[in-house]
Structure 1
Amino acid sequence: MKESNHYQVIIADDHAMFVDGLRSILTNEPDITIKLTASNGEEVLKYLQINKDEKIDLLITDLNMPKMDGMALNKAIKSQFYGVKTLVVSMMEKPNTIKTLTEDNVNGYLSKNSEKKELLKAIRTILEGENYFSPAIQQALIKGMTDAKKMQEIKLTKREKEVLSLIAKEYTTQEIADELFLSKHTIESYRKNLIAKLQVRNLAGLTRYAIENNLA
């Protein structure tokens, strides 16, 4: 990194305490200036559209935000403002979320539980032209890829998916039977077969599987 480089950063997060904490960390970095703090993605896009001639090097964003969340913001940034790098800092570590963000060319991802040292390492790594994904995020991504491969091997029928979806929505056996116009005994059989087929132990396992695979 050349000493003459000076970087301009935008922070998007609707939690004031996190923004204040990040501001206090970056204040001690003489070559980094925070140009904007925003509580949602719409504010960021509006700023960039109005200030097109201003060079923004990095966006640090949360995922859960009102109006426009971090995933939508990252995708919009990558399609409209090619020079802006993006770093997601979030409590969410769902494999599907991480996979989608990597497909949308996010430059980094780490947990909000990360220490100051790792946060600065991520920021510096991305500003210097490389991507940064924390070890925990890399593990979650690998797990997601492994789970996706397993899911491809497991073929669920349309009816099994319907039963699984209703289980995840906390329907009782009788309610599922009424919803699908089947007998209670048939639904119990579906439930037992799904537990065996998906190699989970109980209803909680079925629910988790449904959520992780967007069936809930």
Structure 2
Amino acid sequence: MARTPNSEGTEQRRGRGRGGEGGERDGRGRGRGGPEAARPEREENEFVDKLVHINRVAKVVKGGRRFAFAALVVVGDAKGRVGYGSGKAREVPEAIRKATEQAKRNMIKVNLREGRTLHHDVTGHFGAGRVVLRAAPAGTGIIAGGPMRAVFETMGVADVVAKCLGTSNPHNMIKATFDALVSLNSPRSVAAKRGKKVGDIIGRRDGAAAATAA
């Protein structure tokens, strides 16, 4: 059966559309989409998240029990930024995802001394929970309980001594720890408030520490 000119032209146009112009458009589209697709992955890799606590609750309904999960997650960039969040869902992965997103939205910036420890001792409380955070010399490590240890590890603190007084509820411990971190002051901020130089503030702090040790 002989092919008509219209059918040959249609086949040629279809062939050019697949291999020629269509392939170029697909290639350009993939080329532009590559960096944009990689950018969210780099942002995800910048943060370190730790699951602090997960609670399972059961609701008794007709025909059985219905389970739900509540997750508490701490997220940080290991450079002084840290946040916490909680999420509830019928499945554990979904609860963790909700908690992680909330933690990323509620991140705070904490100024660290030499990038490894706190500038000064501080206390924090929330509800029945009370925590004491103390700066430590190099090589001390993180001496803290489970929930507080997760906060310091994700924040990037290498040397700190922490103690929880009162309740051991993970939620109260985390909130009390953040209450203490928010009240931290760096020498630069104190000098700016008092109208002095940073050297004066640091010199007085070192002199007081030496006098206490003596």
The structure with the largest strand share of the pair is 2
Tell me the TM-score normalized by structure 1. 0.21
Q: Which has the higher helix share?
A: 1
| Structure with the greater alpha carbon radius of gyration | 2
TM-score (normalised: structure 2)? 0.21
